[in-house]
Amino acid sequence: MQKSPTPQPAAALENRQLDLPLFAEPGSTSSSPSPVAPGSPGPAGLVPATPPTVPLAPDGSKLRSLALGSRTLHYVLKRSARRSIGFAIDSTGLTITAPRWVTLADIETAITEKQRWIFTKLIEWQTRVEQRALPKIDWKDGAEVPYLGQPVRVTLGAPQGTLAFSAENAALRLPLPLQADPQQIKDRVQGWLQGEAKRLFGERLAIYAQKLGVNYRAYALSSAATRWGSCSSDGKIRLNWRLIHFPLSIIDYVVAHELAHLREMNHSPRFWQTVESIFPEFREARQTLKSHPPELLPTL
Over its length of 300 residues, how does the chain's per-residue pLDDT go in tens digits?
A: 444 343 333 333 334 556 665 433 333 333 333 333 333 333 322 333 343 343 344 444 678 899 998 888 999 999 988 889 999 887 678 899 999 999 999 999 999 999 999 998 888 877 665 554 446 788 999 999 989 988 999 999 877 778 899 999 999 999 999 889 999 999 999 999 999 999 999 999 999 999 999 999 999 999 876 688 999 989 999 999 989 998 999 999 999 999 999 999 999 999 999 999 999 999 888 887 776 644 456 555
What is the 8-class DSSP label of residue 81?
A: S
The DSSP letter of residue 57 is P
User: Do residues 175 and 160 lie in contact, with contact meaning Cβ atoms separated by under 8 Å?
Assistant: yes
Do 162 and 291 belong together in one domain?
yes
Residue 279 lies in a domain: yes
Q: Are residues 172 and 287 in the same domain?
A: yes
Note if the pTM is more than 0.75: no
Classify 15 in phi/psi space as left (phi over 0), alpha (psi -120 to 50) or beta. left
Which range of residues forms the domain containing residue 205?
A: 144-296
The verdict on residue 48 lying in a domain is yes
Residue 96 lies in a domain: yes
Asked if residue 21 lies in contact with residue 226, where contact means CB atoms within 8 angstroms, the answer is: yes
